[in-house]
Amino acid sequence: MRDYLLFYVNGQEHRVGGQDVFSPLSTYLRYGQGCTGTKVVCAEGDCGACTVLIGRAAGGTVEYMPVNSCIQFLYQLDCTHVVTIEGLKVEGKLNPVQEAMVDFHGAQCGYCTPGIVVALCSLFDCKTQADEQDVKDALTGNLCRCTGYEPIIRAGMNVALERVRSTGELYPPQEMIARFGEHQGRPALIASEGKTCFIPATVEEAVDFKEKNPGTVIVSGGTDVCVNINKRGLDPDVIMSLSNIAGLSDVKVENSHLVVGGRASLAALADWAREEMPELYKIMWLFGSPQIRNAGTLAGNIANGSPIADTLPWLFVMEAVVEMTGPAGKRLIDINSLYKGYKQLDMAPGEIITRILIPLPENNETIRLFKVSKRQNLDISAFAAAIRMTIEAGKIHSAKLAYGGVGPVVLRLPKTEAFLEGKEAALTTFGNAGKLAREEITPISDVRGSKDFRLQLAENIMLKFFLETACGREPVCR
């Protein structure tokens, strides 16, 4: 058992113990290491000014991704390599991305600039060429208060790609991989000033610790928990990070199921969905920025249990099964039975989520996902919905509906589902289904929308589904 974290910053090894372990990465970089190019503006993962690259060992190399350092705490970063804006220079000079930002006047007040440069460097780590949409997609999580987007995008499209050196070229991975391998198999327990952090190496160690320490807060991606620590006074005494447990980050297909590990990121899920389930891939671009998707996890979305969690309506209609592992072993629970009330899960004290098993749809099924929010990207849903339906020869053979943001938990609509099955796929059918859906939900009014607004959305979304999908399958459109 070790009592420290090991990670690298701009190629230099760091061993950190004590109270620093419980600090945001941005604080450690700025005040502990003098890396003041990492700017902190929102402290909740919204603006991207604090973006850094996080590298993790994978497949004999180190793979880097942009994340928001304000909501990454050090205890999440054992056995990683952190690269800041200062670490992206080439032989002491500006790199090609920085040169393009200068040449095309991409910087104004400068607060957002370091995060933008890091995000663009990540884009060109993966691509040998990029068009305007690639640049815009890469910068979705970076806000510019000076409204300088046009020159920033021009800069991104005019980077001298032949001179770009990847992060892997700047920092050869062999030494880091060896050091990570020496440490990942050894659990870490760090205690300081009344706080304890545990980083297990196995599922068994994680379960044992959680059972013996009631109230343990599991921090995975941290995109919810760390915001609550920064902004809402959450101050957990006991924290556990699952980042070093092998196998929990996998996304793969087994026995006609998509199997998502308890540590798998939303970005990894989106990568799978790009070809296999385009509707999911499309909507995931609205869930959050690249920085958020790279950190956030599907299991974290489930465990947080918010009725406006973006992935839950999809999981409900897919009738996903959550694998819990605890002192008594593993058990499987249908996600439709998981929630007993607002953020109340059927989870025993010693259990953790280890996998999510999602049955793959049949080829003749139509799935549509909907998100309504004030902004297109980077906003919390006012209303969400998932509709899964089989329509053949103008008839609805099966229907599964789930709405989010309309009650204390995500809701399936059994009465509306039963009404639809066997009916003609016609406009009047879906109109009547929408009216019935209104009666199955219990929305409230809050800052994101009124009760009446959500009731109307519940009705309108049925018509939207019909007009976008059913008419293309030759139903009676009347």
CATH class of 251-359: alpha beta
> For position 476, what pLDDT does the model report?
41
* Residue extents of the structural domains in the chain: 5-87+170-241, 91-164, 251-359, 365-473
> For position 475, what pLDDT does the model report?
40
Fold identical between 91-164 and 365-473?
no
> For position 471, what pLDDT does the model report?
59
Taking residues 128-138, what's their average pLDDT?
91
Q: Return the CATH fold of 365-473.
A: Enolase-like; domain 1 (3.30.390)
**Dihedral, 309, 237, 73, 12 alpha carbons, nearest 10:** -150
5-87+170-241, superfamily in CATH?
Beta-grasp domain (3.10.20.30)
> For position 130, what pLDDT does the model report?
87
Going by pLDDT thresholds of 50, 70 and 90, the confidence category of residue 129 is confident
- DSSP assignments along 28-93, one per residue: IIIIIS--TTS--SSSSSSS-TTEEEEEEEETTEEEEEEEEGGG-BGGG-TT-EEE-GGGG-BTTB
Q: Is the pLDDT assigned to residue 455 strictly greater than 80?
A: yes
Q: How many Cβ atoms sit within 10 Å of the Cβ of residue 285?
A: 15
Spatial separation of the C-alpha atoms in residues 316 and 118, rounded to whole Å: 36
CATH class of 91-164: mainly alpha
Do 28 and 50 contact (CB within 8 A), yes or no?
Answer: no
- Comparing 413 with 224, which gets the higher pLDDT? 413
> For position 477, what pLDDT does the model report?
37
